[in-house]
Structure 1
Amino acid sequence: MSSGQQEHEDYPVRDEQNEAELQESEAGDEMKPVKIPPRPKRRPRKRKFVAGLLAAVLPGAGHLYLGLLRKGITFIFLLLLDIMALLYFSSIGMQINVPLLILLALLIPVMYFYNVFDALQAADRILRFPEEHDPEDGEDIKSAASARRRVRITEPGISFGVMLLAGGVLLFLFRQKPPWLQAFIENSAGAAAAVLLIGLGVLMGIREVAKNMMARAGKERRSRRIGRYTASATLAAVGTLLFLDWSYGTDDMMLLLKWWPVIPVLWGIEYLLIYLFSRRSKPGGTVRRARMDLRGLISAIVLAACVFIVTEQEHYLHLWNRVSLNLTAAAVDYGEAEGHQFEKPPLVVPVELNTSKVSIDAINGDILIHRAAVEDIEIKATVWVDQLDGVLAEAIADQSFVEVSEGTTIKITPQSKAYGESGKRQPRINLDISLPEDRRFDLNVRTMNGGITLQNVEAIADISLETGNGELILHRIFGNVKGKTLNGAVRARNVLGDVELGTSGGDMSAWEVSGAMKLSTAVGNIKAYDSGDAVDVSTKNGNVEVAGARAKLHAESLNGRIHVRSADFGGDWEVYSAVGDIELFLPLTGNYTVEGSSGYGDITTDLPGLVIDKKLISGQIGTGEFKLRVDGNSNLNVSKY
């Protein structure tokens, strides 16, 4: 091949047609705009350490830093609401519910540490999916999986607005402290809590059913949650029991102590049913998976337990009383009624026409309240200062006085000057309070250390007594009385009204109580004579003696003898002694049936109509309208009265 031919092949000559096409192509390229790919939007990388540090400094701040505005505001708002509720319930005049205050106080550290934990978890999720996480501005999400991740992170919904609305109203009410709110809490809080629990339980169940139906129809992809129906049933059951107690004055909530094992049973049944149904393939060939709903079930159990603790504190008085009455015991040293005695000038408190209540809150000293021939309330205070002499003792007495506030509720508060080497010793201030004979007042009396005595007192409706260390003595009282002491004897005589008294350590005696009588002690003997209504007496370690029970009777002793005698039988009787003989003296004429047993002792009777069969006794007197149930492990003697 020649050099000319090679040059012709390496550099072909463009003809006119090729030249025209080339010019047309170049012209088209000039007219067409050039697309430059957009620069990827970079977000500032949220640091996990910074989020955790901010959450530890201020609850909710870590979530705000991560862009989770709703969660951050929720933590801040709930913490503020809890603190306001704690301050409100500890400052209002009604009797403090100590379990409620303790639970509100415990919520603060719980929310704090959960806030730190959740902030760290949210930071991990955001760092794992940074390009898909945009919690607030509502940008498009790339895929369905990304959308599900976004829902798990941001949890949008109507609940945030409801929380702000309801919480804001509560904050306003806690700050303003309207009188009607206190009345509502005292009278209707149980019903309101019951309705909320029932509504929440029913709503959880309906919502779960609706979502499962949508998933079955293919409108929503979700797995079954095992435990949601059990949580729903738990809340609804607790709410129902609470409503029954509020409506009829029963103690149905105490059934939870016996029936709580039903919760794992229901959970197991739910697990098995959902497991079996989840194994069935859908028409498309897919299988719906199931997952544990631990958060929902545990939340329901914790909520139910909190409601039980708050509402049933009266059934473990010896425990909560010790907490309530000794909140400041570690910081107080009580002076005795010895040393130097100083009589304070009498105080005269004018009584208005609308004055209906007298409230006394003391720290150290006996309190005597009685009616006398006076027009207004008169207060005589006696100050005892021990361990000091001369001018020092007189100075302490001069700085100790009784503070009084007037109005519809007269508040009497002894103010004492602490002294001693530790600076915590409180002088003893004994009060002698005279009430007008022509007036009635409801009473609320509380002292940390000292006895309370009421003589010839008439109340409009209720009398409340509470002492940490001292006797409770009642004589010739008109009104319903509730009283408790941690360490001291209790005596009540000639009371026109219901009586509910308790002590952790001390003997108890009651005579001629016209209304229902309830006496309970941890260590001590109980005597109850001539009651006009139901009698409920119980002791953990002591003897029980009941005479003249005319209506319903419940007598119980875990370690002690029980002796009951009555000429009437007008209600159902329950008698039980774990360790101790039982002696019953029953009327020959009456309408009752007898059923009893003795585990290890002998059974004897001289009452016709009763049959003894080994360790059992049974029979019927008259028509058998009422029932007597007696059980024990020692000797049982049933005799005619």
Structure 2
Amino acid sequence: MGKLGIKRRKSRLLAVLLAFGLPGAGHMYAGQHPKGLLLIASYLLDLTAIVRLADSDGGRHLLMIVYLGIMLPVFYFISVFDSLQSMEAEAEESVAFGLAHGILLALAGFALLLLVKPPEALLPWMNELAELSVGPFIIIAAVWLLLQARKGSVSMFKLGRFTAAALVLMVGGLLLWDQIQGRNDISLLGQWWPVIFIMLGFEVIVFSIRFKGAEKKLRLDVTGGAIALVITMTAYVVTQYADIPFRWLDQFNVDLNGAADYGEEKGFRYDKPVMKVPLEDDVSLIGITNPNGHITVRSGDVQEIEVQTTVWVDLPDKTEADKVAEQSTVKINPGAEVALDAKGKDYGANGSKKPRMNMIVTVPMSLSDRLHIEETEEPPIESEPPPLEAESPGEDHRLDGLSATEGNELSEVTEDQADGELPATPDPGEVEKPALKMSIDADNGSVEVAGLALPGGLAIESSSGLVTVSGIIGPVTVKGNIGEVRASEIDGDANVEMKNGAIAAADIEGKLYASTLNGSLDLKRIRDDIEAGTKNGKIKIESAGASVKADTLNGGIELISDTVGGNWDLDSSVGEIRLTMPEDGDYTVYGSVTFGNITTDLPLEASKKTVRGTMGAGTYRVQINATNSITIRRFGPVQ
């Protein structure tokens, strides 16, 4: 009784805390040492395998990682629940170890050692062994389900146990078959899943006939069915995710700010008088803000910045609409930092509705060629000029387009140079003009900017709407929430980030960073490095001039280029990767695929799951990590 009393004084709360801290620790505290040690070893083996597989081609082992991840909460559930059951045991002594316990612990230790410090001879085969183990792992689960059918009271049979076991066995067999044959037959589950109900029906029929008249209770096997569905759905979703129709998300746009607060282009229209803003010589920033309405910025034959505004007021009463429109205007702050801020008069039942204000901002044409002029100016002459040579008529283009006065001044300068007199050089202490930049902030409405030279850069923030940028000299940055971005003919670096929307970019002379959470990327003729990423959408790249880093979770990657001018790193977690690249380049290819096939017409070594080889000098690296399949074609004329 003394020992029993000590046993009962053990804290249930401490056992639960230990079980939560480390699966198996609660059993050790309760005296279930063999079970506790096996739980600890199994849990550590699961964690170590996840880390190992993730570090070694994680996308290739995605399905196995998901299954191992599902096991982690199972370990915790068993640890907490069973350790509490062990606290209720009446045994006076700790559970003794047996032969089976020793064998299992030793096997777990060997497996952990292989994962933590694998032998050099085994390293080349570990990826293949990990992939091939998924099918047998699921088949073992099916056998376990069948063995559970033999346990319990004979007077009660659980309906669905054989159907669940058959389903899991089929999934394991298909995965193993696909790995060995390099096929994708597991996709047939998407067509044949109604057979589950047929199998359940046959189970009911067979056991109704077999035990007709007997006092047999037929109950549904909820646990076995849940296990089978989790295993089956996980295998199908991970292997076929790229083909599941989630593309509708690309067009699913929800205004989180509340579209009801924004007036639309209906009701009464008011064209405001054109507002003019003097353009100072030292202007460094042009800022435009519009909470509700389109923003269009263009260059034109004007001497000052001109702002044309159209106001829409959606009210039934014209008198009230007139008052709203009259108080809706663009607030202007001139100077070195010009600010154009659309201020609409709120109206509506609760005074929160904003009128629609569409802005057209026209800037002098000098802004469109300001940077070009500065770049083409010749530096001051610091040494003896070379002797002037006579030019034939029609060859002197320096006087074209100049007035008579300007022509005479230029003639005087050249005469002075001929006499040995140099023009005055600029004062080194003279302050240079600041690099002009432009910022645009739009909440609800499209933005269009075209044909401007902005050496300081163009920065656009848009909450909702289409953003179009073209013909910009200088760096461009676009950050959006919902909508679409189209950028073209950018002479500088471009940085485009979206939360929900597609990105299209073409003819970028600098580097490009394009990222969106939900949407596709279409990139063409990028001169410098490319970094592109999306969570849900495909990536298409044409004519990559330098390095490429493309990453998508759900979607394929297509890259077509006649040159390989840098390292390519392509990763599609659950999609297909297709490359069209030159045969006469200097690069090394290594690619791996999880489910699907590898096809190529380049002289590369392709197996069922990997492709590798070196072209030319192998200067650059082409790394490919796909799930569904990899296709590499030779670049050539379009058939």
More helix by share: 1
Larger Rg: 1
TM value normalised by structure 1: 0.48
TM-score by length of 2: 0.48
User: Relative contact order: is structure 1 or structure 2 higher (C-alpha 8 Å, sep ≥ 6)?
Assistant: 2
